[in-house]
Amino acid sequence: MESPIQALKRIYNKSLFQPTLLGLFINPFFIIRRGLYKGIAAFSSYMTGRLLDFGCGSKPYRALFQVSEYIGTDIEVSGHDHQNEQIDVYYDGKTLPFDDASFDSVFSSEVFEHIFNLPEILDELHRVIKPGGHMLITLPFVWDEHEIPYDFARYTSFGIRHILTEKGFVVLEQQKTTNYITTLCQMWCAYIYQHVFPKNKIARIVLTPLLITPFTVSGVILGAILPHSKNFFHNNILVVQKPQEPSDIQ
């Protein structure tokens, strides 16, 4: 049975990835995380059967998927340690340690920007997906450098679509998670949190509802009422399919 402190920590960590009311007051990245969560949830039904979470980390979106088996893989050396993460199998950055056509589905969130050899890894992902299987991907367009020095790329909606199509996938769904205004407001919040706030974690938790939440709320409201433009956005979300036959590629 978990202690009260463990329960509070679990609720806090959950609120960092899910758009809860609590998250609005303690999560400085509420806007970007809300966009990701809503987009992943909207396309979660594509994930079926045996699923590979590629670059799984702590598996923050695990509860969104109703699958028969959930396997997480990650690279051992990255821009952060893997403490408290839920990695089932490590891979070497080049070859996935799974047989051909091993998975019905692949999920990968905020990983592709950290892969220098993305075309090579896409070949591997294509190999381990069964014909007819789906892959759900999220990746940033506007965000600062992170997990330094393992941050290698940003992709426009057109660029990532071209790369995936070139590697034999058919794009079924594609959307952007935020609009111009919400993206601007989130970047301002990120700047305050990362470069103005003190490094002390408790101080950051106390200051977030006072100095960041007002900007977050303003961003959500203004993003809903001002003219929309999605040429400046946080994340791409795509669902792609490995064709049953090569002739299925259009």
- The pLDDT assigned to 11 comes to 81
- The pLDDT assigned to 183 comes to 98
- The pLDDT assigned to 83 comes to 65
Q: Is the pLDDT of residue 103 over 60?
A: yes
Q: Cα–Cα distances in Å, from 62 out to 89, 100, 141?
A: 16, 24, 24
Largest CA distance in the chain: 58
Output the six-digit token pair for 131.
Answer: 């014909």
pLDDT tens figures, 161-220: 999 999 999 999 999 999 999 999 999 999 999 999 999 999 999 999 999 999 999 999
- The pLDDT assigned to 206 comes to 95
Q: Which residues contact 113 (CB under 8 A, 6 or more apart)?
A: 139, 140, 151, 152, 153, 154, 155
25 CB neighbour count, 10 Å cutoff: 17
- The pLDDT assigned to 80 comes to 62
Q: Put the strands of the sheet holding 50-54 in their side by side order.
A: 89-91, 69-75, 50-54, 103-109, 129-140, 235-241, 170-176
**Residue with structure tokens 């009260």?**
4
- The pLDDT assigned to 156 comes to 98
User: Are residues 234 and 183 in contact, defined by beta-carbon separation less than 8 angstroms?
Assistant: yes
Task: Region of 98 please: left (phi>0), alpha (psi -120 to 50) or beta.
Answer: beta
pLDDT tens figures, 57-102: 999 999 999 999 999 999 986 656 666 677 999 999 999 999 999 9
Query: Residue 139 — φ and ψ, nearest 5°?
Result: -160, 150
Q: Is the pLDDT of residue 136 over 70?
A: yes
pLDDT tens figures, 8-67: 777 888 888 988 888 999 999 999 999 999 999 999 999 999 999 999 999 999 999 999
User: Are residues 103 and 131 in contact, defined by beta-carbon separation less than 8 angstroms?
Assistant: no
Report how far residue 23's alpha carbon sits from residue 39's, in angstroms, rounded to the nearest whole number: 17
